[in-house]
Amino acid sequence: MVSVEDYGNFDTAWCPGCGDFGILKALKKALVDLGRSPNEMLLVSGIGQAGKLPHYLKCNFFNGLHGRTLPPATAAKIVNHELTVMAIAGDGDCYGEGGNHFIHAIRRNPNVTLLVHNNQIYGLTKGQASPTSERGMKTKVNQEGVFNRQLNPLALAISQDCSFVGRGFAGDIKHLTELISKAIEHKGFSLVDILQPCVTFNKLNTFKWYSERVYEMDESEYPLNDRVKAFEKSLEWGERIPLGVLYVNERPVFGDSLDALKSGPLVRKEPKTELVNELIDGFM
Ligand SMILES: Cc1ncc(C[n+]2csc(CCOP(=O)(O)OP(=O)(O)O)c2C)c(N)n1
Ligand code: SF4
Ligand SMILES: [Mg+2]
């Protein structure tokens, strides 16, 4: 029987009141609800306040470069497909510097769950605009307001037929827990974009701002595999922001058809060093 205590209890470097605490709580609860023990989990992250989340759970983790969360997560899933692999990223990390990896991971469809802490700002580097910052928002370096158009990650993901697309809110832990559980259970690449107030640097999109706008969508409103309806839903932003599962489409999963994985995870196989040597010799 797995318990929340199995995932440890760590001091954090996050600001008091940060939305990241809600995400950490929801993730732990989801893992316990699904009966996933720490040794079955691998969390992969890059750099940022969001990227620190795996430091605060007692389980396997890999912390790499900013913007490069998805390539090692995909590789790890191929090397050991028995692990539940999750990628943890910030909005800057995933939609900015890592935007190309985000698009191609959607196309490739590895069985990886991606949580994006979307605080609509670069938190760790002290408050520059991110791709999801509201147009017109003033920051220390955007004194006249952000000029660039705001990226809509859900619309982008749905347009590219992402296998599972959902949105949660760090201020609604119960709903977020259920959403994360659904995303983990989904087979294929799943995106959970999480509205996460940054209480220190984003004075516009606060807990109050989100709470006044978010609502739980009725997931029976349209068939969840209806891409056009889901796309339309993903355009809702502003006065009303839907939370929940917007789109699900079962697609062939990267790795499932690889012969080399059929007899078990690569990680348990003896490496054939003679083949590696042959390959290296080929470059001599
Ligand atoms: C290759 C590279 N580019 C830029 C940086 C600087 N940097 C570190 S974190 C970060 C942005 C963090 O924003 P986000 O991903 O939204 O995470 P948050 O801190 O808001 O959770 C940047 C630009 C870096 N460490 N490495
Ligand atoms: S700077 Fe913002 S995102 Fe980072 S820990 Fe503080 S409140 Fe959270
Ligand atoms: Mg951010």
Domains of the chain: 4-282 (3.40.50.970)
The whole-number pLDDT of residue 92 equals: 98
- DSSP secondary structure of the chain: ---GGGG------SPTT-THHHHHHHHHHHHHHTT--GGGEEEEE-SSTGGGGGGGSSSEEEE--TT-SHHHHHHHHHH-TTSEEEEEEEHIIIIIITHHHHHHHHHH--S-EEEEEE-SSBTTTTSB--TTSPTT---SS-TT---SPPP-HHHHHHHTT-SEEEEEETT-HHHHHHHHHHHHHSSS-EEEEEE---TTT-SSS-HHHHHTTEEE--TTSS-TT-HHHHHHHHT--SS-EEEEEEEE---PPTTTT-GGGTTS-GGGSPP-HHHHHHHHHHT-
Closest-approaching ligand to the CA atom of 14 = 2
Closest-approaching ligand to the CA atom of 199 = 2
The whole-number pLDDT of residue 271 equals: 83
Token pair recorded at residue 249? 């489409």
Residue ranges lining ligand 2, Cβ < 6 Å: 14-15, 18, 20, 49, 119, 123, 198-201
Report the alpha-carbon distance of residue 281 to residue 172 in Å, rounded. 57
Cα-to-centroid distance, 218 and ligand 1 (Å): 35
Q: Residue 50 CA: which ligand 1 atom is closest?
A: 21
Protein residue whose Cα sits closest to atom 1 of ligand 2: 123
Q: Which of 122, 140, 151, 200 to mutate to test the pocket of ligand 1 (most atoms within 8 A of CB)?
A: 122
Closest-approaching ligand to the CA atom of 51 = 1
Cα-to-centroid distance, 281 and ligand 3 (Å): 45
Q: What is the mean pLDDT of each run of 10 residues along the chain (284 residues)?
A: 97 98 98 98 98 98 98 98 98 98 98 98 97 96 95 98 98 98 98 98 98 97 98 98 98 94 91 91 93
